């Protein structure tokens, strides 16, 4: 198999396209959110201990993901942004101000449910170090979460300020690792091991070509719901189920370099559930399904001083359909990669969450005429 980043992660894990899945659309160079120029992603991954759960001791299967919309160099320049919640059994801080202002003004961190406050506050500390001496930092950081308590000692509070700052400092462009890394370390999807993943699309519009990417921390669904390329494969992939009801959550972050106004970007966030639906989910009561989208365009306008007149370009609403399609396709692919680019994990109380079996998945798709 080639080292094409569409097919493999940097550590060599096989992605959906590496299995030959005929997913629609044309990705960017890395098939990741980092194909949007300026976007950087960093991780801190915490894996320690085995055996029975002892609060404060372990086992530990968790971490932090950091997304810098304009990278470290322009971390203090806002982006146009929009927020949407399909089901609010979860948390994403800072969204009240995004709804009010139409701007994302901070990095994004994603972690486990009970560490969300830590990563939020740590982001403020990190931002303090980015501002010039004598200038006050005022910020309402975006911190999001999904629940990893099935595998992780979630009440042990193992994620620290230092772990968060390490994720922010490690953020980089280029190909990114996927699977059981960062905030996604202890997560599961359709009762298979899942976690962090991303995908992107090159988008042709009447006004030009743009890039759109999605990043997910994927942790939702029951096995018999899993659908791949329209085939209900989950009902045939039995064994290792561990959830008695739909629970978990998914955080999705959508980025684009297309020039859009905040209300148009909110329309992108509203399309995330259509990509999730292609994988089979029904949006369970116990699942927090929360989405944020932003545009890196119009940087000069957003960097303008308080007493200056900002100028902003935007696409016509009639040009947005290809971007809507790109959201749906990239979210669907990212969820699949969260499972495919992964392996089984044993965590708290010796619970083992199995990996999605590649050979059997391919066999089922062949039988259904999809490969």
Q: Which residues of 167-203 are buried (b: 16+ CB within 10 A; e: fewer)?
A: bbeebebebbbbbbbbbbbbbbbbbbbbbbbbbbbbb
- Does some domain include residue 171? yes
By three-state DSSP, how is residue 212 classified?
strand
Judge contact between 78 and 127, C-beta under 8 A: no
pLDDT at 1 over 60: no
Q: Which of 249, 295, 319, 330 is catalytic?
A: 249
Phi and psi torsions of 186, nearest 5°: -100, 20
pTM value > 0.75: yes
pLDDT, the chain, mean:
96
In this prediction, residues 193-217 reach a mean pLDDT of 97
User: Predicted confidence band at 190 (pLDDT cuts at 50, 70, 90)?
Assistant: very high
Strands (E) located in 26-154: 40-48, 60-68, 79-88, 103-104, 108-112, 142-146
- Total domains, the chain: 1
* 365 lies in some domain: no
pLDDT of 136 reads: 79
234 by DSSP, 3-state: which? helix
Q: Is 311 a catalytic residue?
A: no
221 contacts 192 by C-beta, under 8 angstroms: no
Residue 158 lies in a domain: yes
For the cut 70, the answer to whether the pLDDT of residue 242 exceeds it is yes
- CA dist., res. 252 & res. 327, Å (int): 10
Q: What is the DSSP letter of 172?
A: B
- 289 flagged as catalytic: yes
Q: Is 321 a catalytic residue?
A: no
Alpha-carbon distance 353 to 371, whole Å? 27
pLDDT at residue 307 greater than cutoff 90: no
At 189, which helix (H) or strand (E)? strand 188-189
CA proximity to 176, closest of 356, 39, 48: 39
With contact defined as beta carbons under 8 Å apart, do 90 and 290 qualify?
Answer: yes
CA distance 313 to 365: 44
In the predicted model, what is the mean pLDDT of residues 13-28? 98
- Its domain, for residue 207, covers 16-50+58-356
| Predicted local distance difference test score (pLDDT) of residue 24 | 97
- Res. 295: pLDDT tops 70: yes
Active-site pick, 188, 200, 247, 287? 287
> Residue 246's pLDDT band (boundaries 50, 70, 90)?
confident
35, 148, 257, 289: the active-site residue:
289
Higher pLDDT: 130 or 352? It is 352
User: For the chain, what percent of residues have pLDDT higher than 70?
Assistant: 99
Question: For 79-108, what is the mean pLDDT?
Answer: 98
Q: What are phi and psi of 195, to 5 degrees?
A: 150, -120
- pLDDT, residue 133, reads 66
Q: Does a structural domain hold residue 3?
A: no
Q: What is the spatial distance between Cα 341 and Cα 336, in angstroms, rounded to a whole number?
A: 8
Q: Residue 311 falls within a domain, yes or no?
A: yes
> Residue 162 is part of a domain; what is its CATH number?
3.60.70.12
**Tens-digit pLDDT profile for residues 34-90:** 999 999 999 999 999 999 999 999 999 999 999 999 999 999 999 999 999 999 999
**Does residue 262 sit within a domain?**
yes
Instruction: Judge whether 194 lies within some domain.
Output: yes
369 assigned to some structural domain: no
């Amino acid at each position: 198999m080639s080292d094409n980043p569409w097919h493999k992660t940097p550590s060599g894990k096989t992605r959906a396209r590496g299995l030959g899945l005929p997913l629609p659309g044309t990705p960017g160079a890395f098939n990741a959110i980092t194909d949007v120029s300026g976007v950087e992603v960093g991780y801190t991954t915490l894996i320690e201990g085995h055996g029975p759960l002892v609060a404060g001791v372990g086992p530990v299967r968790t971490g932090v993901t950091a997304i810098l919309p304009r990278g470290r160099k322009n971390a203090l320049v806002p982006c146009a942004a929009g927020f949407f919640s399909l089901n609010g059994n979860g948390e994403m801080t800072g969204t009240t101000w995004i709804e009010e202002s139409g701007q994302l003004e901070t990095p994004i961190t994603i972690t486990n449910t009970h560490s969300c406050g830590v990563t939020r506050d740590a982001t403020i500390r990190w931002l303090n170090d980015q501002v010039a001496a004598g200038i006050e930092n005022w910020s309402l950081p975006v911190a999001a979460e999904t629940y990893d308590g099935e595998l992780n000692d979630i009440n042990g509070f193992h994620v620290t300020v230092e772990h968060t700052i390490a994720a922010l400092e490690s953020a980089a462009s280029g190909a990114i690792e996927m699977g059981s890394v960062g905030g996604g370390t202890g997560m599961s999807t359709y009762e298979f091991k899942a976690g962090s993943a991303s995908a992107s699309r090159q988008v042709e519009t009447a006004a030009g070509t743009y890039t759109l990417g999605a990043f997910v921390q994927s942790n939702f669904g029951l096995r018999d719901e899993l659908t791949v390329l329209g085939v209900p494969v989950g009902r045939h992939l039995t064994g290792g189920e561990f959830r008695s009801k739909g629970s978990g959550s998914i955080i999705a972050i959508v980025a684009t370099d297309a020039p859009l106004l905040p209300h148009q970007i909110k329309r992108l966030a509203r399309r995330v559930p259509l990509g999730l639906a292609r994988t089979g989910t029904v949006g369970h009561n116990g699942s927090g399904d929360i989405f944020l989208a932003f545009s890196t365009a119009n940087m000069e306008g957003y960097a303008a001083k308080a007493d200056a007149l900002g100028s902003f370009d935007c696409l016509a609403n009639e040009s947005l359909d290809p971007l809507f399609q790109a959201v749906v396709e990239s979210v669907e692919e990212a969820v699949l990669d969260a499972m495919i680019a992964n392996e089984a994990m044993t965590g708290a109380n010796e619970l083992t969450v199995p990996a999605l079996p590649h050979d059997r998945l391919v066999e089922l798709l062949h039988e259904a005429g999809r490969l």
